[in-house]
Amino acid sequence: MTTALVTGASAGIGREFARQFAFRRSDVVLVARDAPRLDELKAELERAYGIAAEVLAADLLSDDGLAAVEKRVGEVGRPVDIVVNNAAFGTFGRFADIDIEKEDQEIRLNVLALVRLTHAALVAMEARGSGAVVNVSSLAAYQPSPNSATYGATKAFVNSFTQAVHEEARSRGVNVMLVCPGYTHTEFHERAGLGLPGVPEFMWQTPEHVVTAAIRDLDRGRAVSIPGALNRAMAALSSVTPAGITRRAAGKVVKRSQI
């Protein structure tokens, strides 16, 4: 039986990753700050799927919390076969107006924690010659994001970093895969103080759709998973469109979303 560790497992895409891995009869390690939510999810998954779920309540912004998760990822006696780096948050507003301490935390969670956990996973997995790391990014990585400047930049880092490490690790039996969801119905936008009334419903996906596509692509050994044909087209278009055009378009979309 395999074991999957998921960060940000208390809600949204992370919770759905945990559920789908449990459905596939993988044991799961549930990582987030919200211990009560994790306890509820543990009971639900063990009851529904007969697997073992482990709660690891940790704040990845704290040195101790991040170290505890790194240690669990690298444990030899209880190997973790799949690591899903899903924990992240976004901020909204003009960069000059936002609390810089919040921006600092955003970079440390979205970038530093992901890098450290990817490293811990690769050290352990390459020694065994097997395993997978899934780094959850965003379509926001494909163009500058006015009014979400730091968030888009952190995800651009995740894209470049993950694809580079994919190439390094694949000859060692480890697949490092990037997942880039588009608009997804989760708590993310509410927590960022961002609503999206100008975005039509057909552009949204559910966490179930995102994770189903991601796990299918992981099974196929893909380097990148962009769930949804429309999202794949948008990513391709953003990649070839001049930055001056994409940043203005992104800025207009975000301005219509302000609440």
Q: Which residues are catalytic?
A: 137, 151, 155
Determine the number of helices (DSSP H) and then strands (DSSP E) in the chain.
10, 7
Closest CA to 74 of 5, 17, 1: 5
Note whether 34 and 26 are within 8 A (CB): no
Q: Give the pairing type, strands 174-179 and 131-136.
A: parallel
Note whether 238 and 246 are within 8 A (CB): yes
Specify burial of residue 61 (Cβ count, 10 A radius: 0-12, 13-18, 19+).
middle
What tokens does 62 get? 């704290």
How many whole angstroms separate alpha carbon 157 and alpha carbon 102? 18
Buried b (16+ CB within 10 A) or exposed e, 119-156: ebbbebbbeeeebbbbbbbbbbbbbbbbbbbbbbbbbb
Note whether 247 and 144 are within 8 A (CB): yes
How many whole angstroms separate alpha carbon 74 and alpha carbon 127? 10
Output the furthest CA–CA distance in the chain (Å, rounded): 52
Residue 56: phi and psi, rounded to 5, are: -125, 90
